[in-house]
Structure 1
Amino acid sequence: MASRVVRVALTGSGGIGSRVAVALLERRAHYLERFGCDVRLVGVCGSRSGVVRDGGLHEPDVVTRATWSPGVVGTAMLAAAEPDVVVDAGPNDYATGGPGLSHLEWAVERGSHAIMVSKSALALHGERLLAAARDSGSRVHASGASSAALPAVDFLRHNLAGAVVTRVEAALTGTTSLVLDSVTRLGMTLEEAIADAQARGIAEPEPAFDLDGWDTAAKLTVISGLALGTWLHLDSIPRESVGSVRASDIDRWRDAGEKPALVGVLERSGSGYVGRVEIQAYGSGHPFASAQGSTKALMVQAEGFGEYTLVGGASSPAATVASVLKDVEHLLREISG
């Protein structure tokens, strides 16, 4: 029986995108054996150049970029590659939706599937984009855009399928988790903790988007929309900032043996959900207290099921790549079954 060819194009060739491209090439034999799919990476681009090869790219094409051409970018690259699956790992832009908006629009309008690492397009326009995806038969996965290696969307979508979820509380941003852990457990100042997170490659050079709660709010929007069917308005989510933490707060948490975390909260309201981002402190007996460093955490309450807690998914480039590969596995199972 002939294998099914699955053409993949990747937009965004930075650290994460390049790693994803190489990982996809390395897993071709695995995908063929497990799903009967010949997964071919047929196009890759950055912001200025890219490459398309109908028969599939090889690792030197991705790593050395010697075969890349100027202007083969964005939707022009996608049009030339004609992919069945678009993986978007480009930058975010919370004013416009970023380049990921045009890439996701291109995919869902044509019935191509999408795996999103960038999140601004979904955070700002998710309801419209997912409606278009349903109409065209496009499947959209976004582990990398929601909580990376912490399987928040998967857990809510699959393990609690059909349940009435009443509350979700989650530490979703590795930068804030690491910074708050460092100031309380390791005794760093806030400035030292931020510098340490930047040195480890966890925090961005300009970390305000994470520290001020915007990143958590954006991820909360994606989780609520994809997993619970309620698309929140990003600007309407109340946010607390790590920058508001005072020395007296840190002393109080240390004295009480508590662990602080910046968390996103979703609570059932009528037939939908409302969200907020706030700093919470957890006692030593709480499951979240075990989440050290950049480790993330999720607590869910659902009618009939009770309460569940997941702790893990520490932030790292490898964890983000792993979340994309997980989405690829889900997608191949869906389209090959």
Structure 2
Amino acid sequence: MAMRVVRVALTGMGGIGSRVAVALLERRVRFSQRFGVDVRLVGACGSASGIVREGGLTVADLADRGTWEPGMVGTALLDRADPDVVIDAGPNDYETGGPGLDHLEWATLRGVHAIMVSKSALALQGERLLAAARDSGSRVHASGASSAALPAVDFLRTNLAGAVITRVEAALTGTSSFVLDEVVRSGSTLDAAIAEATARGIAEPDPAFDLDGRDTAAKLVVIAGMALGVWLPLDGIRRESVRSVTDEQVLAWREAGAKAALVGVLDRTAAGYEASVEVRAYGPGHPYAAARGSTKALMVTAEGFGEYTLVGGASTPEATVAAVLKDVEHLLAGL
């Protein structure tokens, strides 16, 4: 009997997307052995050109972009590739939703499964898009768009299935965690800590989106929506900034041996959930206090279950790729 083919199209071939494409090719044997399917990357595109190969792309196809077709991008590529799974690793746009909005909309209207690395589409239009996915039978995964290597959505949705979640605190942005750790524990200046984060590849060239809490807010919206079914308005989330931390706060935290972090907070109220992004300090006795650098954390309180603290998850391109591959495996397990 012929092995079932699972056709994959990848939109967005920047640093993350290119790595994901190669990783998919490298895992084909594992996928076939574990799930009994032939996972075939049949299409990929950047912002200006793309390529479709019915028999599946090779590493050489990915490397030789001179052979790619100009204009074969976005939904044009998806129409031609006719995938079973769309992986979107394109840029974010918090005004329009970015190209990921078009790609996720294309998938959810057709019953095509989707794995999102970009998060602006879900952060702005997640409720509508997930409703369309339910209607069409498509499944949407978004580990790379929420907390990458920290399995926040999986933990809340699977390990605490059916629980009433009363509080979530989550350090979701490696840049902010690293910078605060350097300033508080190492005595670095803010500018020096940002420069070091950029040099290590933790921070973007312009880290303002991370430092001012906007990245954390977007991830919090995705986590709350995907895991709890609660879609919060992104522009309604109150935000604090790492850059607002005072010298007096830094000194007090250092003397107390505390771990400072920018965290997304969800509090259950009589009316639903309230969300905020805040700078918090955790004393030496807290499980998160021992974490260093860009390490992420998820702290959850659930009725009947009690309190949990999940610490870990790298803030690197490789960690994001690993999270995407995990989502692929979850999808394949359910086919």
TM range (shorter): over 0.9
Quote the Cα distance in structure 1 between the aligned partners of 2:175 and 2:105.
30
Match of 2:257 in 1: 257
Q: Distance in 1 between matches of 2:254 and 2:234?
A: 33
SS in 2 for 1:230: coil
Q: Determine if contact 1:18/1:63 at 8 Å carries over to the other structure.
A: no
Once residues 142 and 24 of structure 2 are traced to their aligned partners in structure 1, the CA distance between those partners, rounded to angstroms, is 17
Distance 1:286 1:28 in 2: 42
- 1:38 is paired with a residue whose SS is strand
Matches of 1:73 and 1:210, distance apart in 2: 29
Match of 1:6 in 2: 6
Gaps of 5+ in 2: none
Report which stretch shifted further, 219-228 or 301-310: 301-310
Asked if 1:274 corresponds to 2:274, the answer is: yes
Query: Is residue 89 of structure 1 aligned with residue 89 of structure 2?
Result: yes
C-alpha separation in 1, matches of 2:270 and 2:333: 35
- What RMSD in Å do the two structures reach over aligned CA positions? 0.8
How far apart are residue 271 of structure 1 and its match?
A: 6.2
Task: Tell me the distance in 2 between the aligned counterparts of 1:100 and 1:291.
Answer: 33
Give the Cα–Cα distance (whole angstroms) in 2 for the partners of residues 77 and 228 of structure 1.
Answer: 33
Render the CA deviation track for 1:253-299: whole Å, top value 9, x for unaligned.
11111111000011112363211100001111101112211110001
Q: Partners in 1 of 2:255 and 2:325 — Cα distance?
A: 42
| Residue-by-residue CA offset, 1:291-334 (whole Å, 9 max, x unaligned) | 21111000111111111111001200000000000000000001
Q: Cα distance, 1:63 vs. partner?
A: 2.2
Is 1:235 the equivalent of 2:241?
A: no
- Distance in 2, matches of 1:252 and 1:26, equals 49
- The one-letter code sitting in structure 2 at the alignment partner of 1:312 is G
Alpha-carbon distance in 2 for matches of 1:188, 1:4: 55
| Structure 2 residue 146 is the aligned partner of structure 1 residue 122 | no
For the residues of structure 2 that align with 1:206 and 1:73, how far apart are their CA atoms? 27
Question: What TM-score does the superposition give when structure 1 sets the normalisation length?
Answer: 0.98
Q: Distance in 2 between matches of 1:3 and 1:164?
A: 42
> What displacement does 1:2 show?
2.6
User: What whole-Å deviation, never above 9, does each CA across 1:183-221 have from its counterpart, x for those lacking one?
Assistant: 111111000001111111111111111100000000000
Q: Deviations over 1:94-144 (max 9, x none)?
A: 000011000000000111000000000000000000000000000000000
Letter in 2 for 1:266: L
Report the number of matched residues: 335
* Cα distance, 1:2–1:272 mapped onto 2, change above 3 Å: farther
1:320 is aligned to 2:315: no
Q: 2: CA distance between counterparts of 1:8 and 1:274?
A: 37
Q: Which residue of 2 aligns with 1:202?
A: 202
Q: Which moved more, 1:245-254 or 1:134-143?
A: 245-254
Q: Could you tell me how far apart the structure 2 residues matched to 1:104 and 1:208 are?
A: 27
**Structure 1 equivalent of residue 24 of structure 2:** 24
Counterpart Cα distance in 1 of 2:281 and 2:240: 13
* Alpha-carbon distance between aligned partners in 2 of 1:321 and 1:288, rounded to the nearest angstrom: 25
SS in 1 for 2:154: helix
Alpha-carbon separation, structure 2, partners of 1:305 and 1:296: 22
**CA separation of 1:271 and 1:246: change in aligned 2, threshold 3 A:** closer
> What's the counterpart of residue 290 of structure 1?
290
Q: What corresponds to 1:44 in structure 2? A: 44
Show the 5 A alignment for 1:129-144. 129-144=129-144
* Contact 1:172–1:296 under 8 Å retained in 2: yes
How many angstroms apart in 2 are the aligned matches of 1:332 and 1:284? 42
TM superposition shift of 1:64: 2.9
CA contact (8 A) 1:293 1:314 kept: no
Q: Which moved more, 1:102-111 or 1:287-296?
A: 287-296
Contact 1:217 1:237 in 2 (8 A): yes
Runs of 4+ in 1 over 6 A off after TM superposition: none
Counterpart of 1:230, as a letter, is V
2:36 is equivalent to residue 33 of structure 1: no
> What is the aligned partner in structure 1 of residue 247 from structure 2?
247
Structure 1 stretches of 5 or more lacking a match?
Answer: none
C-alpha distance in 2, partners of 1:90/1:248? 40
Structure 2 CA distance for aligned equivalents of residues 323 and 265 of structure 1: 23
> How high is the TM-score relative to the length of structure 2?
0.99
Give SS of 1:288's match.
coil
| Matching residue of 1:332 | 332
